[in-house]
């Protein structure tokens, strides 16, 4: 049904290096064709890959972790897509290398790449424009 109704969105998502058909279909289904969310941050929070602080009062401070609120299956798919994105997308590779250079764990770096990949997918579907490797934001 998705291939019939949202073929354009599916084509846009599959154009992103690292995102496959399965992940693109899952994203469209979970987000109801990206109609449930107004911002990419809302989508990242819904999926559960945003960092949260574990804190109780003023004395107990835990490590920051991802929230793990949303779909475990989608988080796993995005994590696997992050591996490919690091190989094929220059911006994702730079994020990964920057975080690893700060002596953070590689898993943390891959979660950051998955977050970036999800934000890119959201922007591409909302704008309706295909993925461009050399695109530079005008906001910077």
| 12-24 residue pLDDT tens | 999 999 898 999 9
The answer to whether residue 72 is domain-embedded is yes
Task: Give Cα 133 distance to the centre of its chain.
Answer: 16
The pTM is what? Answer: 0.85
Q: Could you tell me which residues are beta bridge partners of residue 60?
A: 56
Q: Look at the block and give the residue holding tokens 């997918």.
A: 121
The answer to whether residue 23 is domain-embedded is yes
Average pLDDT over residues 70-84: 90
Which range marks the domain in which residue 67 is found?
2-127
The answer to whether residue 137 is domain-embedded is no
The answer to whether residue 22 is domain-embedded is yes
40 falls in which pLDDT band (50, 70, 90)?
very high
Total domain count, the chain:
1
Within 8-139, strands assigned E span 51-52, 55-56, 60-61, 65-66
The answer to whether residue 64 is domain-embedded is yes
Taking only the tens place, the pLDDT of each residue in 108-135 is 899 999 999 999 999 999 998 888 877 6
Q: Could you tell me which residues are beta bridge partners of residue 66?
A: 51
Q: Residues for the chain: how many in total?
A: 140
The answer to whether residue 139 is domain-embedded is no
The answer to whether residue 39 is domain-embedded is yes
139 falls in which pLDDT band (50, 70, 90)?
low
The answer to whether residue 135 is domain-embedded is no
């Amino acid at each position: 049904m998705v291939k019939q109704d949202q073929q354009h969105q599916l084509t846009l998502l599959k154009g992103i290096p690292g995102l496959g058909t399965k992940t693109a279909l899952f994203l469209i289904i979970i987000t109801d064709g990206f109609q449930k969310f107004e911002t990419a941050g809302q989508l990242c929070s819904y999926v559960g890959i945003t960092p949260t602080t574990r804190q109780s009062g003023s004395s107990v401070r835990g490590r920051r972790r991802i929230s793990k609120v949303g779909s475990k299956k989608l988080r796993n798919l995005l994590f696997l897509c992050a591996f490919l994105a690091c190989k094929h997308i220059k911006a994702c590779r730079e994020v990964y290398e920057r975080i690893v250079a700060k002596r953070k764990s590689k898993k943390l770096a891959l979660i950051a790449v998955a977050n970036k990949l999800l934000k890119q997918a959201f922007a591409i579907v909302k704008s309706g424009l295909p993925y461009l490797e050399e695109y530079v934001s005008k906001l910077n």
